[in-house]
Structure 1
Amino acid sequence: MLVTMLSTGTRGDTQPFIALGIELKKIGYRVRIAASESYRDLVEGYGFEYAPMRGDVAKILESGVVKDADSPLKFFTSLNFKNDDLVSLMIGGQEDMHKACEGADAIVYHPGATLGYFAAKEMGIPSILASPFPMTPTNEYPAIIFYDRLRLGKAVNKLTHHIFEKGFWKMANMGVKKYWIQKYGKLPAGFKNPYPKQRTATHPTITSLSSGVFPVPADWPEHVHAFGYWFIEDQSDYKPSRKVEEFLKGGEPPIYIGFGSVGDKTNAAEATDMVVKALKRNGMRGIINAGGGMEERESTKDILYVKSVPHEWLFPQLSAVVHHGGAGTTAASLRSGVPQVVIPFGNDQFAWGKRMVELGVSGGSIPRKELSADKLAEAITMTQSGVIQDKAKELGVKVRAEKGALKSAELIHKTIENYYKKERV
């Protein structure tokens, strides 16, 4: 049987789907992953069928059509829908996703790929909403983009989730709406927010989330699940470059600094200067991930510039991780058991920054607009305290033990199996 997975966004959005796919392949499924052309090699490198999606995510982020979103209001207006090229790309992406669903027996989709729900409904097959962040309403904590804001009680907590759900749907539905009308001349049957409908036995929700980070809310419906983060557990096939291997062996464990796919290239020199100064003030070695607003420079005895090294492999060998607060990078940092510092740029990153401080595994959360060499140096110093290191190790043990990708794949298998048993009856 074939499972199609619809990913959107950056590598941090795509890699957890690869982790799920690895576990589904072990059960016996064929797996097809639709993702940005940027990640073709990543998907095919793990032996999956790659379904192309138009657009290079890195180039789109660099183009400026996605605006900074450092507040809930800005989050809902972060996509420039007046940009004709972006709208055309969105419609083309929906067509690519629809094509990727052809012949599938089930569809697993990212919250930004809501076409997955309507395609599954059209085809009469189960759909699974696979979210990298908690988005099912609860009164236990606010929605992810409101998490670092003023707390006003349980009723307001739940209200923020409904606002987030509706706002996210408003952003996600435009491409689906335009594509479906263009293809069929009308909207899909029952064209409404699909997220609340993904809470049944045949249409469940799974979240890549550790209960050690956010306990599973008691008021979540029965068919909403969070078994743990989705990691690519086996990194034994990865062979680092000689320069990475030699650098790691050449002294005390270094600090990693990387901002993922986000960041303004016009400020790359300034950002890199700040990072280098902060490392020097602490007398620490560093690995700087060039890209995402960081320059690639000539490596030195104490600083190594890299392009791409798997986080699951690299992070456990470090003394701390400084990152932008993407859900995937935050999870990889937690898994490694080393302390972290979050430099949020926008969206859900502020929430992860605040939560890491609350859990006691972080030297601080510094918004990118407020970053300085002094503040970063101070936060890095904090990560070396025994209390923070011990808490990071303790939480790392819990996160690694959860086997979230395996349990989530088993839930997907159970959903498919039960669905087709009923079909045969």
Structure 2
Amino acid sequence: MLITMLASGTRGDTQPYIALGIELKKLGLDVRISASESYRELVESYGFDYAPIRGDVTKIIESGVVKEADNPFKFFSSLKNDDLMDLMVDAQEDQHKACEGADAIVYHPGSTLGYFVAKEKGIPSILASPFPMVPTNEYPAIIFYDKIRLGKLSNKLTHLIFEKGFWKMANSGFKRYWKEKNGELPKGFTNPYPKQRTKNNPTIVSLSPSVFPVPKDWPNHVYSFGYWFIEDQSDYQPSQELHQFLNAGDAPIYVGFGSVGDKKRAKESTKMVLKALNGTGKRAIINAGGGMEQRQNTKDVFFVKSVPHEWLFPYMSAVVHHGGAGTTAASIRSGVPQVIIPFGNDQFAWGRRIKELGVGAKAIPRKELTAEKLADAIRFTQTASVQKKAKQLGKKVKSERGAKKAAELVLETIKNYQS
């Protein structure tokens, strides 16, 4: 039995599907993952059948084609670009090819082709979202979460706006591809998200109910079991230099701004971070990938690239990062406090939620970041109450085993569909 999973976006978007795929394989299912060419090696390293999506997503984002959006309405226009549209059409073709022979399709909200291909083939589709994708009156939609609150009716309205806007973004490349291939759009071509709330076509959110409680007004067949983590990191072996650094003193601070941070500001950002760290007296590990400059290691600062967060973060005393959903989740699971420096999209929501949960400092928008503000935030994370709350939440999240439960639901969905 073959499951095709359509990932969409950066490493933070792709890695949860790998975690889910590992659990599906444990249940005896074959798994194919369609993801950007940037992540071929990552996907294949876990033994999956890899289906490429043309284009290196890291280089695409670094090129400036995709604009980071610091308010909800910029978010909906951030992908309007002719060059990007061509890439999106190519991606549709690649993902369609990846669905050949599948018995079920698991897809990211940005890969709505998965719903229509599953319907065409007569197989189940599972919407697998890294953020809440179902309207509720209990809290605002993710891109409105850090904005003014106006009550339950307003909360639900933000979800409807988000759902409609996200569908508009997701369907543009699909419509052009499908028309070019078939001459017309598929029958019943409407927003698929509301249709993914049935026994045969459920929605699963890769999110911890300890971080965002499951809303009482969510319909049946929408599930939030917990984050999807790659549980076993025993195969990872750090370099001897990193191992020695970790054991040479107090637990360091991690600083990293994601796989696609602003390379143009790398020198400035690194200088600012080092100044802040100097003001706290803390040792640090700096991710020299997105938005941070590679420099010579010192006795107090060690530069890394591509170290698994799930392995590294438990050794830290705090994590400073951009607020990507995946990095936020890994930080929470590790039981260490956070400082989020958001610069676009859903990052502001995670920044606010971390503060609300008491497991981190108040977020500092990238435009407002200074060495002094960062130093103050780091010092806040070292207080006993914040450290205690972060550790308690980490234990809860770690015990949830969200990927395992999601995989069991996928298998149950397929069996129900075939019976």
State the match for 1:22 in structure 2.
Answer: 22
Give the counterpart of 1:160 among 158, 161, 168.
158
User: What's the CA shift for 1:241?
Assistant: 1.5
Q: Tell me the distance in 2 between the aligned counterparts of 1:23 and 1:67.
A: 34
Match of 2:90 in 1: 92
Letter in 1 for 2:33: I
Over the residues paired in the alignment, what is the CA RMSD in angstroms?
0.7
- Is 1:284 the counterpart of 2:282? The answer is yes
SS in 1 for 2:225: strand
1:86-165 mapped onto 2 (5 Å cutoff): 86-165=84-163
Give the aligned partner of residue 214 of structure 1: 212
Equivalences for 1:288-307 in 2 at 5 Å? Answer: 288-307=286-305
Aligned AA for 1:260? G
Superposed CA deviations along residues 262-300 of structure 1, whole A, max 9, x for unmatched, are 322111110011111111110111111112111111111
Q: Which amino acid aligns with 2:244?
A: E
Which residue type is aligned with residue 110 of structure 1? H
CA distance in 1, matches of 2:88, 2:130: 21
Aligned to 1:31: 31
Q: What SS does structure 1 have at the residue aligned with 2:223?
A: strand
**1:220-276 CA-partner distances (Å, limit 9, x unpaired):** 011000000000001111111122111111111110001112322111110011111
Q: Aligned to 1:363, what secondary structure does the other structure show?
A: coil
Task: Choose which of 310, 313, 320 in structure 2 pairs with 1:312.
Answer: 310
Give the 3-state SS of the residue equivalent to 1:51 in structure 2. Answer: strand
Aligned counterparts of 2:108 and 2:253: Cα–Cα separation in 1: 31
- Counterpart residue number, 1:226: 224
Per-residue CA distance 1:327-350 (angstroms, 9 max, x = gap): 111000000001010000100000
User: Where does residue 80 of structure 1 map in the other structure?
Assistant: 80
2:264 corresponds to which residue? Answer: 266
1:5 matched to 2:28:
no
After superposition, residues 242-253 of structure 1 pair within 5 angstroms as 242-253=240-251
Once residues 289 and 315 of structure 2 are traced to their aligned partners in structure 1, the CA distance between those partners, rounded to angstroms, is 22
- Cα displacement (A) at 1:302: 0.8
Q: Is the 8 A contact 1:262 1:345 kept in 2?
A: no
Residues in 2 aligned to 1:49 and 1:245: alpha-carbon distance in whole angstroms: 33
1:398 and 2:392 correspond: no
Q: What is the alpha-carbon distance in structure 2 between the residues aligned to residue 39 and residue 394 of structure 1?
A: 33
**Paired position in structure 1 for 2:364:** 366
1:211 Cα deviation after fit: 1.0
* 1: CA distance, partners of 2:308 / 2:227: 16
Equivalent AA in structure 2 for residue 209 of structure 1: L
SS of 2:32's equivalent in the other structure is strand
Aligned pair count reads 419
| Distance across 2 between alignment mates of 1:248 and 1:363 | 24
Alpha-carbon distance in 2 for matches of 1:176, 1:188:
11
**Identical positions, percent:** 72
- Residue number in structure 2 paired with 1:70: 70
- The residue number in structure 2 matching 1:353 is 351
SS at match of 2:320: strand
Q: Mapping of 1:372-383 within 5 angstroms?
A: 372-383=370-381
Matched letter for residue 31 of structure 1: V
Tell me the residue number matched to 1:417: 415
Match of 1:61 in 2: 61
Letter of the aligned partner of 1:406 in structure 2? K
Matched AA of 2:5: M
1:263 and 1:345 in contact (8 A); partners too:
no
Q: Tell whether 2:41 aligns with 1:41.
A: yes
Q: Which amino acid aligns with 2:44?
A: E
Q: Which moved more, 1:269-278 or 1:291-300?
A: 291-300
2:322 to 321, 324, 327: 324
Q: Distance in 2 between matches of 1:56 and 1:87?
A: 15
Cα distance, 1:80 vs. partner? 2.9
Distance 1:198 1:27 in 2: 23
After superposing on structure 2, the runs of 4+ consecutive aligned residues of structure 1 that deviate more than 3 Å are: none
C-alpha offsets along residues 16-62 of structure 1, whole Å, 9 cap, x if unaligned? 00000000000000000000011001100001000000111110111
